[in-house]
Amino acid sequence: MIYLDNNATTRPCAAAVEAAGLAMREAWQNPSSVHRAGQSARALLEMARKSIAELLGAKPREITFVSSGTESIQLAIRGVVHAQPKHDDPPLIVSTKVEHSAIRELLTEMEARGEARVHWLDVDGSGIVKLESVADALALKPAIVSVQWVNNETGVIQPVEQIAAICNSANVLFHCDGTQWVGKETTRLGAGGVNCALLSLSAHKFHGLKGVGCLYVRAGVRLRPQTPGSQELGRRGGTENVPGILAAGAAAREAREWLENTSARDELGALRDEFEAEVLAGCPGSEVNGAGSPRIWNTTSIGFPKLEAEAVLLALSESGVCASAGAACASGSLDPSPVLLAMGVPPVLAHGSVRFSLSRETTRDELQQASTIVIRCVNSLRASTSAAV
């Protein structure tokens, strides 16, 4: 099986699996207990927190462990909004319609419940935020601005450093969804990099285990916990998932070491480009969504006009290739991706768009085999569709 669905999840690295096993065998005690065994588990947990912080260029006390990237986003946005002073009008949240559904659907729900008002920023044909629309939105005095670092469907990179600077100049909090960036590219938070107030990430996107997310909270940011309790500096109650957290720490250490070798990313990016070129040549009329804009090295979204993405994915799966139609958490939907529609992608192309995403383990041989299979499946579906018409 050729696995090209790494934006959905990555295979846990051996170090992460071993760290989780260690926690279950030897460090299974409650890290909040005052006895020596509990404090030994606490020490390992804090070492993992330090490893996550080092991956981000942050301080350990700025890292809060949660259950997922989605919970991290909820804590960031609801936590900031609920910490606002009471006014007649609900607080304003500024974001984009090309965000992951964890943000889009959250904001839609909050607006429907009267918790917040929402203002959507303008984006161009690649889904990149128009910086002038950020400046204009700040005149509305929002409580928080939330923009993703990398689009989970197209791999398009947002100018988050500039967005953070614009927000900071107006004393507005900026939250960045870094789920598809962290562990794949070098991350530097603070004055020397992306000076965001909050950043969300998920360990299973960089070869950790599912069930662990993190929220970076810059010192001084007011945040109301959504699950009250004494754990995680009072930001998030509940006994920590020690096996998952130790695995996240191990995955972060491996990712940091891998990121030191920039040539590895360059080589994988070149393989992604070769894969795209071969598929486009073998499937005339197909298009890469977001092509021409800055994209992360591991992601490509290819639209096959007049085909249904679900049919393509089933054919690929039967032929040994795993991919997704947009976000994996939206699989099963017959509607085209809201992200692609927000970019202005024609529905006939959005309906047939498939996402292929690499990991640092992906090989040239796998991509060469995959391109051959994609071309065969797409052209076979086209032939059968034409015959049916």
CB 341 within 8 A of CB 389: no
What is the band of 388 on the pLDDT scale with cuts at 50, 70, 90?
Answer: low
Rounded to whole angstroms, the Cα distance separating 50 from 207 reads: 18
pLDDT the model gives residue 275: 98
Long-range contacts of 267-274 (CB under 8 A, 24+ apart): 268/297, 268/298, 268/358, 268/360, 268/362, 269/297, 269/298, 271/358, 271/362, 271/364, 271/367, 272/297, 272/298, 272/299, 272/300, 272/358, 272/367, 274/367
Task: Give the residue ranges of DSSP H helices in 198-323.
Answer: 242-259, 262-282, 309-318
Flag whether pLDDT at 195 surpasses 80: yes
Say what percent of the chain tops pLDDT 70: 97
**Active site residue: 167, 214, 283, 329, which one?**
329
pLDDT the model gives residue 385: 73
Cα distances (angstroms) measured from residue 157 to each of 105, 161, 247, 324, 382? 21, 11, 27, 19, 32
pLDDT the model gives residue 139: 96
Rounded to whole angstroms, the Cα distance separating 149 from 48 reads: 24
State which amino acid sits at residue 101: S
pLDDT the model gives residue 387: 63
Which parts of 304-385 are beta strand (E)? 321-322, 353-357
| Backbone region of residue 273 per phi and psi (left: phi > 0; alpha: psi in -120 to 50; beta: other values) | alpha
Flag whether pLDDT at 202 surpasses 90: yes
What is the band of 336 on the pLDDT scale with cuts at 50, 70, 90?
Answer: confident
Flag whether pLDDT at 285 surpasses 80: yes
pLDDT the model gives residue 94: 98
Rounded to whole angstroms, the Cα distance separating 23 from 314 reads: 38
176 is catalytic: no
Flag whether pLDDT at 334 surpasses 70: no
Average pLDDT over all residues of the chain: 96
| Residue whose structure tokens are 């990313």 | 265
Q: Which CATH number fits domain 2-8+262-388: 3.40.1260.10, 3.90.1150.10, 3.40.50.150, 2.40.50.140?
A: 3.90.1150.10
What is the band of 39 on the pLDDT scale with cuts at 50, 70, 90?
Answer: very high
Q: What integer is the mean pLDDT of 355-375?
A: 98
pLDDT the model gives residue 348: 94
Flag whether pLDDT at 312 surpasses 60: yes
Q: Which CATH class is domain 14-258?
A: alpha beta
- pLDDT tens per residue across span 63-98: 999 999 999 999 999 999 999 998 889 999 999 999
From first CA to last CA, the distance across the chain in angstroms is: 33
**What is the location of CATH 3.40.640.10 in the chain?**
14-258
Give me the count of residues in the chain.
Answer: 389
- pLDDT tens per residue across span 146-173: 999 999 999 999 999 999 999 999 999 9
Helix, strand or coil, per DSSP, at residue 343:
coil
What is the band of 371 on the pLDDT scale with cuts at 50, 70, 90?
Answer: very high
pLDDT the model gives residue 327: 54
**What is the location of CATH 3.90.1150.10 in the chain?**
2-8+262-388
In sequence order, the 6+-apart residues with CB closer than 8 A to the CB of 274 are: 367
Min mean pLDDT across 66-75, 205-214, 242-251, 324-333 is at 324-333
pLDDT the model gives residue 192: 87
